[in-house]
Copies of this chain bind each other. A is one copy, B any other.
């Protein structure tokens, strides 16, 4: 078991959620995937592995994972990527909201979570310029990953 699986299953168990077979399968699949996945893709990938999980259940499992901040929702595609809260905690902003800092590779669809060192500066500049009080943010950076450059 990798760190993510332990982390996700442990967190769900601690919060009183039941560790069912479909939940475990979805968590394992998300852990193994470099890319973000849609509910249908998850259902199909599991089926290809001989594991049948209803699409509706996948939707509900993803909702549960999202509410527990165990996945990111990629805004540009609506798909879901595993997420380690450790990375989130380093974010100096947006304690309440689930904030996204994702690097998305155009070529291979790989997604990397990142901690944004310059975010504070940017947000301060924006607040000064706009008179908005910023509480959270979503950022997606599209480009080429190290392997695809």
A interface residues with partner B (beta carbon < 8 Å): 75-76, 97, 103, 105-106, 112, 114, 116-119, 121-126, 129-146, 149
Q: Which residues of B contact A131 (CB under 8 A)?
A: 145-146, 149
In Å, the complex CA distance between A139 and B146 comes to 22
Q: Within the complex, which residue of B114, B137, B149 is in contact with A142, where a contact is CB–CB below 8 Å?
A: B137
List 13 contacting pairs A-B, 8 Å CB cutoff, sorted by A.
A75-B138, A116-B126, A117-B125, A118-B118, A118-B122, A118-B126, A121-B121, A122-B122, A132-B143, A134-B141, A134-B143, A136-B143, A137-B139
In Å, the complex CA distance between A132 and B143 comes to 7
Contact A144 B132 (CB under 8 A): yes
